[in-house]
Amino acid sequence: MSLKSAIEWTNSTWNPVTGCTKVSAGCDRCYAERFSERFRGVKGHPFEPGFDLTLRPKRLEQPLHWRRPQLIFVNSMSDLFHKEIPDEYIRRVFDTMERADWHIYQILTKRSSLMRDFVGKHYEDKPVPPHIWLGVSIENSAAMTRLRHLKQTNASMRFVSFEPLLGPIGDVGLEGIHWVIVGGESGPGARPMQAEWARSLRDQCLAQQVAFFFKQWGGRTPKAGGNTLDGCQWQEYPDMVYDRVLETPLQAAGAPVGISKDLL
């Protein structure tokens, strides 16, 4: 687990699983794969198996030992709902999140139907606790079925990451969605994001009163293009962050806010 993440919308990362396989265009230039494969075959290195799917049970209880409340991105180097991860192992991840309930957990998946089905069985009689946020990654309009699956998921808090944003999304119904992240691709061969794609999503969030976070334009490096959209840094969070983690006054969705990473 990393106690300090370079990902702008979280504090920390927790990886009880690493490695994955590609499922759509958003995976083509995966940063996690690129990083992991640098160490394939390096004896004793955590990524000796490269980006092969690897369960890491010794990490399952790490958040229990982290006493300061954090925003924790779960499986930044994998996908918790990969079809080869046993349901019993996923249940153990959720058990830790329920026990260490002073943190907020952010789970993103491209395998949205598997998340929906797991949650429906595991939380048959109640929604997922509100400190466990469930989200989907959507890179273009072809991946919008993930939003439908997310809305069908028995979650208390839902979010969408349009990153890397590779094409126009069009009109989006955001009812039941609490947070939207938008970002361009970064790294070698990064595919550019058009301003109108990001602007459209921002405007729809404003109109539908959904918190909007603009992460980056992307480019050769994550910070190459900066993170301002129409002259503003859009770094909104859902309300409950301010109650549980951030030491700032409550900021309502619908206005650009500049929340310093130093406060996270």
Strand-pair category, 17-18 with 54-55: antiparallel
In this predicted structure, what is the pLDDT of residue 2? 58
CB 230 within 8 A of CB 199: yes
In this predicted structure, what is the pLDDT of residue 142? 97
Q: Which residues contact 201 (CB under 8 A, 6 or more apart)?
A: 162, 165, 169, 172, 180, 182, 212
Measured over the CA atoms of residue 240, residue 71, residue 139 and residue 163, the dihedral's sign is positive
Q: Which residues contact 117 (CB under 8 A, 6 or more apart)?
A: none
Query: Rounded to an integer, what distance in angstroms lies between the CA atom of residue 194 and that of residue 166?
Result: 8
| Residue 9 reports pLDDT greater than 70 | yes
Residues 19-47 have pLDDT tens digits of 999 999 999 999 999 999 999 999 999 99
Determine whether 65 is exposed, middle or buried from the number of CB atoms within 10 Å of its CB (0-12, 13-18, 19+). exposed
Residue 4: pLDDT band with limits 50, 70, 90: low
5-14, 127-136, 181-190, 253-262: least confident range: 253-262
Residue 239: pLDDT band with limits 50, 70, 90: confident
In this predicted structure, what is the pLDDT of residue 256? 35
Q: Which residues contact 51 (CB under 8 A, 6 or more apart)?
A: 18, 19, 20, 30, 32, 33, 36, 37, 40
Residues 93-128 have pLDDT tens digits of 999 999 999 999 999 999 999 999 999 999 999 999
Higher pLDDT, 241 or 23: 23
| Residue 257 reports pLDDT greater than 90 | no
In this predicted structure, what is the pLDDT of residue 261? 30
| Residue 50 reports pLDDT greater than 70 | yes
Query: Rounded to an integer, what distance in angstroms lies between the CA atom of residue 73 and that of residue 75?
Result: 6
Report DSSP state, residue 121. H
In this predicted structure, what is the pLDDT of residue 249? 30
Residue 5: pLDDT band with limits 50, 70, 90: confident
| Residue 219 reports pLDDT greater than 50 | yes
Residue 80's CB: how many other CB atoms inside 10 A? 22
In this predicted structure, what is the pLDDT of residue 195? 98
Residue 15: pLDDT band with limits 50, 70, 90: very high
Give the mean model confidence (pLDDT) for residues 174-188.
97
In this predicted structure, what is the pLDDT of residue 3? 59
Residues 54-75 have pLDDT tens digits of 999 999 999 999 999 999 999 9
What secondary structure does DSSP assign to 131-165, as a single string? TEEEEEE--SGGGTHHHHHHHTS--SSEEEEE-S-
